[in-house]
Amino acid sequence: MATSHWTTITDTVAAEFSDVPDLAQLTRIAVRLLLAALLGFVLGFEREEKGKAAGVRTHMLVAIGSALFVLIPLQTGMDPSDISRVIQGLVAGVGFLCAGTILKQGKDEHQVQGLTTAAGLWMTAAIGMACGLGRETTAVSSTLLALAVLALVPHVVSVIERVWGVPRDKDDVHSDPQDTRGP
């Protein structure tokens, strides 16, 4: 009688872990999740090196979570139109997370912090989704482009500002820190 109970328990536990039918599917899942983690690490590392609040762990978790949210419906055979609703919910949810990284200080619209962090997390979620959907080349290409934007664009803007001067908002006479005139 006791053997029958243990057989039932082991069969039940085995059935609970039977969502991966073969080694090929297990490899596919591992590659997608690990790539999402790696790409999240790369983006998070760049942000952490710049001293930003959302660093390696945050970016990795956003990427892995996003990959998982689209990977599970694919595994269950969900209809593509239903997967698009999952993606819509994921984009909205990540947007909510990103909104929490944005801080507005004072009454001036120029005193906003965290916009790049929010955009980076949103991008990381999209890259994670690409991994989860099996679009690895798109995910890697997007990560490289995001890194270029984060690392190179500030230097390009600096060069442009040196060559042509700092752009000045016509409504804001205090946009130039050297300008001490009143309104």
Whether 27 maps to a domain, the answer reads yes
114 within domain boundaries? yes
DSSP, collapsed to helix, strand or coil, labels residue 104 as strand
Handedness of CA 105, 109, 110, 116 (dihedral sign): positive
Average pLDDT of every residue of the chain:
86
pTM flag (> 0.85): no
User: For the chain, what is the total number of helices (H) and then of strands (E)?
Assistant: 7, 2
Q: Across residues 159-170, what is the average pLDDT?
A: 76
Cβ of 72: how many Cβ atoms within 10 Å? 15
Which residue range is the domain that position 112 belongs to?
22-164
> Is the residue at 183 inside a domain?
no
- H helix or E strand, kind and range, residue 153: helix 153-164
- Give the per-residue pLDDT at 177: 43
Whether residue 177 is contained in a domain is answered as: no
C-alpha 145/C-alpha 126 separation (Å) is 13
- Which carries the bigger pLDDT value, residue 41 or residue 15? 41
- Decide if pLDDT at 52 tops 50: yes
Domain count, the chain: 1
Asked if 37 and 64 touch (Cβ cutoff 8 Å), the reply is yes
